[in-house]
Amino acid sequence: MATPTTHVHLELPADLIPILDQLGAGRTVDDHVRISLAIGLYTSHSVSLARAADIAHQSLADFIHILQQRQISWTQYDDEALAHDVAFVAEHTRDDDEVPRR
């Protein structure tokens, strides 16, 4: 299902265009702006990785590659996720004494 779009007219200072071109991803100014917006939304934790890739009009693998080129972590493993994983492991592991022997 395609996400509805809105066309926006954006005026940018002329000296910003070469900077956008140096970003390397995308072929047009629209591509550069879309990718930059997606990166900003992703790094601010406003959207998921998959949603950011969609905003950037990139496949998930290509968007991850763009993030890696910019040395931006594409994993969002925070304290909450760590606590969840620790609790899961604790709940699903047993001491050797509790493991049934054959």
Over the chain, what is the mean pLDDT? 82
Q: 16-39 pLDDT, tens per residue? A: 888 877 776 778 888 888 999 999
| DSSP code string of the chain | -PPP---------TTHHHHHHHT-S-SSHHHHHHHHHHHHHHHTTSS-HHHHHHHTT--HHHHHHHHHHTT-------HHHHHHHHHHHHHH---GGGSPP-
Tens of pLDDT, residue by residue over 33-54, are 899 999 999 999 899 899 999 9
Banded model confidence at residue 59, pLDDT cuts 50, 70, 90: very high
Instruction: Give pTM, 2 decimals.
Output: 0.67
pLDDT recorded at residue 8: 83
